[in-house]
Amino acid sequence: MTPKTIIFIGPQGSGKGTQITKLCEVIAVADPARRIVDIQTGRRFRALVARSETYADKKIANTLNDGELQPDFITHLLWGQAMLDQLDSKSHLLIDGVPRTTDQAKVLDDALDFFERDSLVVINLDTPEAVVKERMHSRARTDDTPDSIETRLRWYREDTLPVLDFYRTRPNTAVHDIDGTMDIDGVHRAICAALNLS
């Protein structure tokens, strides 16, 4: 198997983290000799909040609770450091939580070029807002307040959906639109089929 670079895009509550975990298991079986680097920026932000040691940690906590996008420089630092620490040209790379804007997509392109990764796959978990609202309300995360959910869905519509247009015209890029309303196993099977891993 050639090294894969896969970006997951979808609104919060569309199941990106769950699907990355399941896909990692499949890739690990199919290609056990190759490392899998899994970068989920939302998880990394929540780890900073849980640490709550610095001014930045506390400010990030407030921003998360409000549902606002984090500043680009922090986002880039988190995934950039993860790449510097873990990634080489032969590893599989799975990304969730970035890019959330076209500007972030361009910075990520610079990083992918540095790590000699021209070919890119985008998994778009196409999930209606009504469905993700219900899921976010039911998962009982402290930052899933009604106001923060509405804020995150708004910036997803305004800032992240244009990222899909960026990737649909990017060379050496395949965008797979997956029906995110299916159950977890159904979405997983659709992703594996799109990646020829089924």
Q: What is the three-state SS of 29-98?
A: HHCCCCCEEEEEHHHHHHHHHHHCCCHHHHHHHHHHHHCCCCCHHHHHHHHHHHHHHHCCCCCEEEEECC
Instruction: Check the CA dihedral 173-178-184-186 and report its sign.
Output: negative
pLDDT in tens, 11-25: 989 999 999 999 999
The pLDDT value recorded for residue 189 is: 98
The pLDDT value recorded for residue 119 is: 95
- CA dist 38 and 36 (Å) reads 6
Average pLDDT on 180-189 reads 97
User: To which residue do tokens 């610079």 refer?
Assistant: 110
- CA dist 187 and 114 (Å) reads 32
- CA dist 88 and 18 (Å) reads 24
Q: Residue 14: enclosing H or E segment and its boundaries?
A: none
Share of the chain above pLDDT 70, in %: 100
pLDDT in tens, 93-137: 999 989 999 999 999 999 999 999 989 999 999 999 999 999 998
**CATH number for the segment(s) 5-194:** 3.40.50.300
- CA dist 19 and 38 (Å) reads 12
Do residues 9 and 122 make contact, with C-beta atoms less than 8 angstroms apart? yes
pLDDT in tens, 165-183: 999 999 999 999 999 999 9
The pLDDT value recorded for residue 61 is: 85
The pLDDT value recorded for residue 198 is: 74
pLDDT in tens, 32-71: 999 999 998 887 888 888 888 999 888 888 887 777 788 8
